[in-house]
Amino acid sequence: MIGDGWAGEPAVRPGPAEETSPAVRRVAVVTGSRAEFGLLAPVMRAVRARPDLELMVIAAGSHLVSPALTYQEVKAAFGAHIVDAVPMQVAGRTGRDADVEALGLGVGRFGRAFFRVMPDWVVVLGDRIEAFAAAAAASVGGFALAHIHGGDRAEGVADEAMRHAITKLAHLHLAATAQSAQRIIRMGENPDLVRTVGSPAIDGLAEIPALPDDEYEGLGRPNVVFLMHPVGRPAEHEETVAAAALEAVLADPEARVLALYPNLDPGREGVLAAVQNAERRHAGRVTVRMHLPRERFVGLLRRLADGRGLLVGNSSAALIEAAALRVAAVDIGPRQNGRERAGNVVACGETDAQISGAIAAARRLDLASLAHPYGDGRAGERIAAALAEVNPHDPRLLRKRCAY
């Protein structure tokens, strides 16, 4: 482990993360979407709870896009710690070209934010463009960068490439599983700076109760949650796949579906069109919601577990939270290809027959002895401890060097 007392040569260019380490380290946690905010919240709480760390929150990206404006959730939970907001995407604009423009805007705005608030650590999670923009700004600006959920595999749109690119920019690696940690080390990262901490998605699940009856009724008493994101194809293609999945679910006359809006990736309009069309065609059996706050979403998964329901789509929640809660899931298409999965998941292709077969197989699963690789629910405190322990101002930490 890199220690605080190393006295080697100074870095080539003294930068913000090479100054004398303060008694209390300032930790800027970047959240850019509804999905990773749920995972980052336990980390933020653990940082806030330590007297040797100061929490700073930067809300960015899709949090600031109407009409959802999930920034309000960030503000409600951590308003006193928000130090900046970084707009990137524009409402109504999706596509690869829009993502490129948003990424460029984000790098510049994150750089301004970091030099204004001068964090000791910048913390990002996952593989989305918000995390990549913040990571690029931190690395070029000379700020120590910690990356959560590095080393995972998942195709997404460009997720695999961006996640591993962030790994090469990062200085401290906080892996969710042992396999991911080994993958990071094989990428040439210093083993002393790779920690297997578990996924913060597991933190706090045991304390979240099943959704109360009145809220469950208000969502249409679903026994299937449909959560599907685009994978970067033309909207027409995304609509065809999403529509096939919904029709396969609804072929069961007992199915009651809650469909959630997709994320802002290219092709979103197609998935959204399929969801809205299903709501019209199957009135009373399909309920559509833009977003559920994490506690309500987890509470709903508990209702599914109790009632042998299904999570259908291509969200990582099927592989992580649903596994921990013993919810059967159907993972459609390539988005999660390569990601570790437990025995609650049935993967399938995108044809009607493949999806129907996977739904039938998922309903037959025995989840009584299910185990998963994502930790014991203490990732947040391990991450906070690592941020307190590792010196972000050590020049050896900041000077990246391939370990092989």
How far, rounded to the nearest angstrom, does the alpha carbon of residue 219 sit from its chain's CA centroid? 24
Question: Between these two residues, 18 and 243, which has the higher pLDDT value?
Answer: 243
**Domain boundaries, position 46:** 16-202+376-398
Report yes or no: 150 and 163 within 8 Å, Cβ to Cβ: yes
Same domain, 195 and 121: yes
Q: What pLDDT score does 155 carry?
A: 73
Q: Residue 163 corresponds to which tokens in the numbers above?
A: 């996640």
Q: What number of other Cβ atoms are within 10 A of residue 310's Cβ?
A: 28
- 7 in a domain, yes or no? no
In a domain, 370, yes or no: no
Q: Answer yes or no: pTM beyond 0.85.
A: yes
Angle at 30 between CA 26 and CA 35, to 5 degrees: 140
| Residue 21 pLDDT > 60 | no
- The verdict on 269 and 314 lying in the same domain is yes
Residue 401 confidence class, pLDDT cut points 50, 70, 90: confident
Residue 10 above 70 pLDDT? no
What does the CA dihedral 30, 32, 33, 35 come to, rounded to 10 degrees? -30
Over residues 289-311, the pLDDT tens digits come to 998 999 999 999 999 999 999 99
Together in a domain, 47 and 190? yes
The tens digit of pLDDT for each residue in 315-357 reads 999 999 999 999 999 999 999 988 899 999 999 999 999 999 9
The percent of residues above 90 in pLDDT, for the chain, comes to 81
Which tens digits make up the pLDDT trace of 181-212?
Answer: 999 999 999 999 999 999 999 999 999 999 99
Q: Give per-residue pLDDT as tens, 107-158.
A: 999 999 999 999 999 999 999 999 999 999 999 999 999 999 999 988 766 7
Q: Are 85 and 74 in contact (CB under 8 A)?
A: no
Strands 144-148 and 25-31 come out as unpaired
Of 6-10, 21-25, 231-235, 302-306, minimum mean pLDDT range? 6-10
Sheet holding 310-313, edge to edge: 286-289, 257-260, 224-227, 310-313, 328-332, 345-348
| Cis amide linkage into residue 253, ω under 30° from 0 | no
Query: pLDDT confidence of 20, banded at 50, 70, 90?
Result: very low
Can you say whether the dihedral through the CA atoms of 219, 65, 155, 246 is positive or negative? Answer: positive
Average pLDDT, rounded, for the chain: 91
The pLDDT value given to residue 157: 64
42 pLDDT above the threshold of 90: yes
**Rounded to 5°, angle at Cα 124 from 120 and 130:** 120
The answer to which of 65-69, 216-220, 254-258, 323-327 has the lowest mean pLDDT is: 65-69
Instruction: Give me the pLDDT at residue 310, please.
Output: 98
Residue in this structure with the two tokens 């700073």, named with its chain if needed? 56
Q: For residue 253, is pLDDT > 80?
A: yes
Q: Above pLDDT 70, what percent of the chain?
A: 94
For range 208-231, the mean pLDDT: 96
Cβ-proximal residues to 36 (8 Å cutoff; 6+ apart), any chain: 125, 126, 128, 131
What total of structural domains would you count in the chain? Answer: 2
**C-alpha angle 381-372-311 in degrees, rounded to nearest 5:** 105
Same domain, 242 and 256: yes
Q: What is the CATH number of the domain that holds 322?
A: 3.40.50.2000
Query: What is the structure's pLDDT at 23?
Result: 83
Residue 12's pLDDT band (cuts 50, 70, 90): very low
Q: Are residues 169 and 237 in the same domain?
A: no
Q: Which of 187, 122, 202, 114 is nearest to 150 (CA)?
A: 187
8 pLDDT more than 60: no
Let me know whether 129 and 21 are in one domain. yes
Position 11 scores a pLDDT of 32
Residue 5 lies in a domain: no
Q: Cβ–Cβ contacts within 10 Å for residue 197, how many?
A: 24
Half-sphere exposure of 13 (CA within 13 A, CB side): 6
Per-residue pLDDT, 119: 98
358 with 380, same domain? no
Q: Are residues 344 and 212 in the same domain?
A: yes
pLDDT at 7: 28
Quick one: 263 and 198 in the same domain?
Answer: no
| Domain presence at residue 161 | yes
pLDDT score for 351: 92
Report whether pLDDT(97) > 60: yes
For Cα atoms 140, 142, 145, give the angle at the middle one, nearest 5 degrees.
Answer: 90
Task: Report the alpha-carbon distance of residue 106 to residue 112 in Å, rounded.
Answer: 10
| C-alpha to C-alpha distance for 18 and 11, rounded to whole angstroms | 8
- Sign of CA pseudo-dihedral 64, 35, 112, 44: positive
Do 162 and 299 lie in one domain? The reply is no
Please report, for residues 99, 138, 262, 315, 358, the alpha-carbon distance to residue 273 in angstroms, rounded to integers and kept in the order given: 21, 38, 10, 18, 23
- Any domain includes 328: yes
The reported pLDDT for the residue numbered 16 is: 55
Average pLDDT value for residue range 358-385: 96
Interacting residues of 121 by C-beta distance below 8 A, sequence separation 6+: 25, 26, 27, 28, 143, 144, 145, 146, 172, 387, 392
Does residue 123 sit in the same domain as residue 154? yes
Shared-domain flag, residues 139 and 241: no
pLDDT of residue 5: 28
Helix (H) or strand (E) holding 271: helix 268-281
